[in-house]
Amino acid sequence: MGEYKIPGQLQEFVTDNTIVVRSPGRINLIGEHTDYNEGFVLPAAIDKAVYVTIEKIEGAKLYLHSIDFNESAEVELADIKPVFGHWSTYILGVVDQFLQKGQTVPGFKLGIYGNVPLGAGLSSSAAIECAVAFALNELLQSGFSRKELALIAQAAEHKYAGVKCGIMDQFASLFGKKDHVIRLDCRSLEYEYFPLELGEYEIVLFDTMVKHTLASSEYNIRRSQCEEGVMLIGQNYPSVHSLRDATVEMVNECIGEFETAHRRCKFVVEENIRLQEGCTDLLNGNVEAFGKKMFATHEGLSKEYEVSCKELDYLVSYVKNNPDVIGARMMGGGFGGCTINIIQKDAVEGLVSKLTEAYAQNMGRELKYYLVSIEDGTTIIKS
- Residue 306 — left, alpha, or beta (φ > 0 → left; ψ -120 to 50 → alpha)? left
- Among 24, 39, 93, 166, the residue binding ligand GLA under the rule CB under 6 A is 166
Among 4, 13, 36, 305, binds ligand GLA (CB under 6 A): 36
Contact (CB, 8 A) for 73 and 112: no
301 binds ligand GLA (CB under 6 A): no
- Nearest-approach distance from CB 172 to ligand GLA, in angstroms: 9
**CA dist 336 to 26, 256, 309, Å?**
16, 30, 6
118 φ, ψ to 5°?
Answer: -80, 140
Q: Does 33 interact with ligand GLA (rule: CB under 6 A)? A: yes
Cα(58)–Cα(146) distance, integer angstroms: 28
Binding ligand GLA (rule: CB under 6 A), the pick from 21, 22, 24, 35 is: 35
CB closer to ligand GLA, 18 vs 339: 339
- Burial label for 197, CB within 10 Å (0-12, 13-18, 19+), is exposed
> d(Cα 54, Cα 111) in Å, to the nearest integer?
7
- Which member of 169, 207, 245, 376 is catalytic? 169
**Chain length of the chain:** 383
| Among 116, 128, 133, 168, interactor with ligand GLA by CB under 6 A | 168
Piece in contact with ligand GLA (CB under 6 A), picked from 101-109, 163-171, 296-304, 309-317: 163-171
Nearest approach, Cβ of 307 to ligand GLA (angstroms)? 8
169 is annotated as an active-site residue: yes
169 near ligand GLA (CB under 6 A): yes
Angle at alpha carbon of residue 52, lines to 46 and 57, rounded to 5°: 165
Phi and psi torsions of 303, nearest 5°: -90, -35
Residues 324-343 that bind ligand GLA (CB under 6 A): 332-333
Select from 165, 316, 348, 355 the one that contacts ligand GLA (CB under 6 A).
Answer: 165
Helix (H) or strand (E) holding 317: helix 310-320
- Report the interface residues with ligand GLA, using CB under 6 A: 32-33, 35-36, 123, 165-166, 168-169, 332-333
Catalytic residue annotation:
169
